[in-house]
Amino acid sequence: MTEKIWLKEYPAGVPAEIDADRYTSIPDLVEKAFRKFADKSAYNNFGCSLSYAELDSRSRDFAAFLQSLPGMTKGERVAIMSPNLMQYPVALIGILRAGMTVVNVNPLYTPRELEHQLKDSGAKAIVIVENFANTLQQVVQKTQIEHVITTQLGDLLPLPKRWIVNLVVKRLKKMVPDWHIDGAIDFRTALARGASAQLKAVSIDREDIAFLQYTGGTTGLSKGAMLTHRNILANIEQAGVWIGGNLKQGEEVVISPLPMYHIFCLTTTLYFMTLGVVNVLITNPRDLPAFVKELAKWKWSVLTGVNTLFNGLLNTPGFGELDFSGLKVVVGGGAAVQKPVAEKWQQMTGRYLTEAYGLTETSPAASINPLGTPWNGTIGLPISSTEFSIRDDEFNELPVWTGSGDIEKFTGEICIRGPQVMKGYWQQPGETAKVLHQGWLKTGDVGNINAKGYVTITDRKKDMILVSGFNVYPNEIESVVAMHPGVLECAAVGVSDEKTGEAVKVVIVKKDPNLTKESVIEHCRRELTGYKLPKHVEFRDSLPKTPIGKILRRELRDK
C-alpha cells in the first residue's frame, strides 16, 4: 500500500515511526530501568515485593550462575517452565543478561508436548517449578537438557512466608507430584553460587535471538518463532507511544493475569519496566474470587488480558464494587473482544476496553484501536512503523474497502511488515518460506482495510482454533485422537463458545463400535494441555472430503 491511510487517524502525539534502535539490547533497556527506579517496587506476588534493585542483583546472580555452568555459552537456549512468580522475571532477565536465549514453556504441557519443545529448541538448561518437575522427569533423558534448576512457589518470598507457602503447597495441598532428577539444583542455591561468580561481559547484537517463542504449526507440532532483541525492543517502543501517553513514571500499578510465557504478557512486562511500575503478578487467574480480592488491595491503573478473562471478572461477585478511579489503560488481545463484554466493561468500570491485535510472529502487537474509543468491531489501526496490506491468493494487493461494492473483492489475507516481525521459524526454512514473502508476514487471517485505515478480521485462512487467546492447531488434536485404537479417522474444528470464544470439537468415524466420548477425552487428557482438550465429540459414519481425499474442515464447521 503506497499511502499509509491510517496515519490520519492516529491520536495526537502518536508518531508515524518509532526508533527501533534506541537500546542496544533488552539487557541495556532493563539495566537502565534498574538504575532509574532502584528503590521502587518492580514486582509483587503473594503480597510480597521485589524492588528494581533486588531484581537487578538477583538477575545478575542468575546470569553469572548460568555462565558458570559447563557448556553454557552465548546463544545457548534456556527454558523456563513456570506460572507467574517473581522467579520468572529474575530467570528471564538473567538468561538475557548472560547472552543466552529464552525458551518459554507452558507449565501445563504434557510430557509429549514438553519433549517436543525441548528437543526442537535444543535447550541445555531449564528453570522449572517443582510442581511440574514430574513431567520433566518423564522426558528429560530424551532431550539435550544438561542442567535443571528447580524452584518452589515461595522461593523468593521473605521468611517465614517462604516456608509457609512452600509447606502448604507441598504438604497440605499436595500440589507437587513425586519427582527425582539427578543433579537438579534449587533456584536459591543457583543464586547463591552466582553471587560469588563473575558476570562476564557479553556482546549482544540487536539481531541476536532473544526468545524462541513457540507457536502451533501446520504439521501439528509447534515451532519456535525467532524473536530478536530488536523485534522485542521495537514492539516495546511501539507499545510506549500508543499506550504510555497518560501513564506516569514510577507511579502506576499494572495487573498481570496473563502468563509471562505468553507473548502478550512477555512484551508488555518488559515495556512496563521502562516506566518503573509495580507489576502485580497473578499466579492463578482462574481463581476469579481470589483475583478480585487481590484487585481490591490496589489502586490499579493498567490491566491487559483476553476476552474470557474480562468476561469472567464481570461475572464475579465483588468486581463491580471495586475502585476503578485509577484505571487508565485496559487492553484486550490474543482473541477478539466481544461487543457485549466491551459494553458491559464500560458500563461497570467507566473505562473503555481497547482491542488490539497481534501474533507471536509480530512480538506481538501489530494494530490497536485508539485508547478512549468505544468498541467498533475492528482490530484498530496499524501501529507506528507498521504496514498492513490485504493480498489475494496470488499475493496481489487488494484495494481499500470504501463502503460500496462487493466486500468480498476487498477481502483477502492480512499481511504485515514492520520491525517487530520475527526473523523466521527456528530450523524450519520451509515453514518460514510459507509465511515470510517479499518482506511481508502472511498472517493466515482474512480481512479488509476501510478508507480510514481500520482493519477488520472476517475469517481465518488457516484452520487454527483460538481458545481463550491460545492457538490450538487441528492437526495436533487430530494426530492425538488418531492414536486411539478405537478411532478410524477424525477431524478437529473450532466451534463458538460463550466462555472461551472458541472450543475444540472432534468429529470421529469409529473403528471400535463401542468407542465413547469419555474414552476419547480421557485419552486426549494424557497427551494434551487442558485448553486443547476437545469439549465436543461427535461420531459420524463418514467425513466430508475433497476428490483427492482431504477432509473438508470448513464443511464440518459450517454444519
The CATH fold assigned to 469-558 is GMP Synthetase; Chain A, domain 3 (3.30.300)
DSSP type of residue 140: G
C-beta of residue 316 within 8 angstroms of C-beta of residue 333: no
Burial code (b: 16+ CB inside 10 Å, e: under 16) for 469-498 equals bbbbbbbbbbbbbeebeebebbbbbbeebe
The pLDDT, as a whole number, for residue 219 is 47
- Domain covering 46-204, topology: Rossmann fold (3.40.50)
Cβ-proximal residues to 188 (8 Å cutoff; 6+ apart), any chain? 151, 155
Three cell numbers written together for 493: 474444528
* Average pLDDT across the chain, whole number: 94
- Measure the CA–CA gap between 66 and 197, rounded to whole angstroms: 10
Q: Give the integer Cα–Cα distance in Å for 500 and 482.
A: 25
- What are residue 26's phi and psi, to 5 degrees? -65, -40
CA distance 341 to 362: 26
Banded pLDDT at 2 (limits 50, 70, 90): low
Alpha-carbon distance values, 411 to 456, 458, 468 (Å): 9, 8, 26
148 within 8 A of 184, measured Cβ to Cβ: yes
Question: Alpha helices, DSSP H only, in 4-160?
Answer: 26-36, 52-68, 87-97, 111-121, 133-139
CB 518 within 8 A of CB 534: no
The runs of H, that is alpha helices, within 122-228 are 133-139, 161-167, 187-195
Q: Cell numbers of 16, please? A: 508515524
Per cent of the chain over pLDDT 70 is: 97
Of 208, 253, 255, the closest CA to residue 233 belongs to 208
Strand partners, 126: 79, 148
Residue 217 pLDDT class (50, 70, 90 cuts) = very low
User: Burial letters for 335-369: b for 16+ Cβ neighbours within 10 Å, e otherwise?
Assistant: bbbbeebbebbeeebebbbbbbbbbbbbbbbbbbb
Residue 476: which pLDDT band, with cuts at 50, 70 and 90?
confident
- Taking only the tens place, the pLDDT of each residue in 123-174 is 999 999 999 999 999 999 999 999 999 999 999 999 999 999 999 999 999 9
Instruction: Please confirm whether the linkage preceding 474 is cis (ω < 30° from 0).
Output: no
In this predicted structure, the answer to whether residue 498 has a pLDDT above a threshold of 80 is: yes
In angstroms, the CA 131 to CA 135 distance is: 9
> 220 vs 475, 493, 550, CA distance in Å?
4, 13, 16
pLDDT score recorded for residue 549: 60
Q: Give per-residue pLDDT as tens, 134-146.
A: 999 999 999 999 9
Q: Does the pLDDT value for residue 467 go beyond 80?
A: yes
Contact 367, 386 (CB under 8 A): yes
Residue 193 contacts by C-beta under 8 Å, 6 or more apart in sequence? Answer: 65, 68
Report pLDDT for 553.
83
- DSSP β-bridge partners for residue 279: 43, 254
Where is average pLDDT lowest: 8-22, 218-232, 377-391?
218-232
pLDDT digits (tens, 9 = 90+) for 227-282: 999 999 999 999 999 999 989 999 999 999 999 999 999 999 999 999 999 999 99
pLDDT tens-digit readout, 62-72: 999 999 999 99
**Region 93-109 average pLDDT:** 97
Cell numbers at 307, concatenated: 476476552
Q: Domain limits of the chain? A: 46-204, 469-558
Answer yes or no: is pLDDT of 38 > 60. Answer: yes
- Let me know if 550 is exposed, middle or buried by CB neighbors in 10 A (0-12, 13-18, 19+): exposed
> In angstroms, rounded to a whole number, what is the distance separating the alpha carbons of residues 534 and 389?
35
Q: Which of 209-218, 405-414, 508-517, 534-543 has the lowest average pLDDT?
A: 209-218
**C-alpha–C-alpha distance, residues 138 and 118, integer Å:** 13
The pLDDT assigned to 550 comes to 62
The residue whose grid cell reads 473505562 is 351
Q: What is the pLDDT of residue 546?
A: 61
State residue 282 phi and psi, 5-degree precision. Answer: -95, 110
Tens-place pLDDT, residues 346-397: 999 999 999 999 999 999 999 999 999 999 999 999 999 999 999 998 999 9
Q: Which residue has the higher pLDDT, 406 or 28?
A: 28
| Same fold for the pair 46-204 and 469-558 | no
Tens of pLDDT, residue by residue over 426-460, are 999 999 999 999 999 999 998 999 999 999 998 77
Contact 254, 280 (CB under 8 A): yes
